[in-house]
Structure 1
Amino acid sequence: MDLQPTPISRRYTVKITQQSPCTPKVEVLAPVLRLHPGATRLPHVNHDDTLCLHQRGEWRSNMPIADTVLPWTSEWFYYYEIWLITGEWTGGGDWPAASDI
């Protein structure tokens, strides 16, 4: 699936997988995500390189992916593009610590 967070954004190809009732996983297939100069890792990415889109327990199996995971993923790309320019993640949330991944 392709997502484009704004009309001037890049297009991102993602793969969403889910084994009910587990949380869906979002993997970026293209383009390869770059780091901000000076960064050592991407913000809000899980240990398995899937996107960290919500806090634990925020998503429930009765929530449609189209109404939750898809807009959250598009929003993640929006904040990722800002981060690439500024080096600051302005999307809020808790960033998994390096020791957690």
Structure 2
Amino acid sequence: MMRGFPGIAEQAEAMRRHWPASRMRRIDERSAAWLGPVRPLMARYEIEIAYRVPHIVERIDPLGQQPKVRVLSPRLLCRDNDPEGRLPHVYGHPRFDPTLCLFDFETSEWTPFDLLALTTLPWSLDWLACYEGWRATGEWTGGGRHLQPVHAGA
């Protein structure tokens, strides 16, 4: 018998254990967002992890069903004409509320069976540590498959 995806209550309990400084905002019975502070290396960030639990019968679309992670503050800074792109490994326009690209959705590194507290949260910290290094050196050390960079004029 196939077990369903972890529900919001199960995700919330794991987040309370692993990220006690976060606050949960319930959107509806299958959706919630967690907001709170993180400090990967030097800087402190306020992030939001938004997630909607899919129905087990829905077509699994890893890109569409993955958690959405945004940095609320401080604003992520871009580097025009950088070989890595203005802001590497994000979805959406890098200057306007991008969401973090935390894993390769084509390789099933994350699925709706995973707990956000054990995947998305640590991957967000890793992304932010790589971001801090990239801002300091211009080199993205996070690996992964690069999305097409958005350069000046885009």
TM-score bracket for the superposition, by shorter chain length: 0.7 to 0.9
CA contact 1:44–1:51 (8 Å) conserved in 2: yes
Q: Which has the higher contact order (CA 8 A, sep 6+)?
A: 1
What is the Cα deviation at residue 37 of structure 1?
Answer: 6.2
Runs of 4+ with >6 A deviation: none
CA contact 2:68–2:99 (8 Å) conserved in 1: yes
Q: Cα RMSD between the aligned structures? A: 1.7
Alignment-derived partner of residue 89 in structure 2: 44
Alignment-derived partner of residue 103 in structure 2: 54
CA contact 1:36–1:85 (8 Å) conserved in 2: no
What is the Cα deviation at residue 36 of structure 1?
Answer: 3.7
Structure number having the greater strand percentage = 2
Alignment-derived partner of residue 12 in structure 1: 45
> How far apart, in 2, do the equivalents of 1:98 and 1:73 lie?
20
Equivalent runs, 1:16-95 vs 2, <5 Å: 16-21=49-54, 22-36=65-79, 38-39=81-82, 41-47=86-92, 49-56=98-105, 57-95=108-146
Normalising by structure 2, we get a TM-score of 0.58
> How far apart, in 2, do the equivalents of 1:47 and 1:34 lie?
14
Aligned residues: 97
What is the Cα deviation at residue 34 of structure 1?
Answer: 1.1
Change (3 A) 1:37 1:98: closer
Q: Which SS does the other structure have where 1:17 is aligned?
A: strand
> How far apart, in 2, do the equivalents of 1:10 and 1:98 lie?
25
Tell me which amino acid in the other structure corresponds to 2:121.
L
Q: Which runs of 5+ in 2 are unaligned?
A: 1-35, 55-64
Q: Which runs of 5+ in 1 are unaligned?
A: none
Structure number, greater radius of gyration: 2
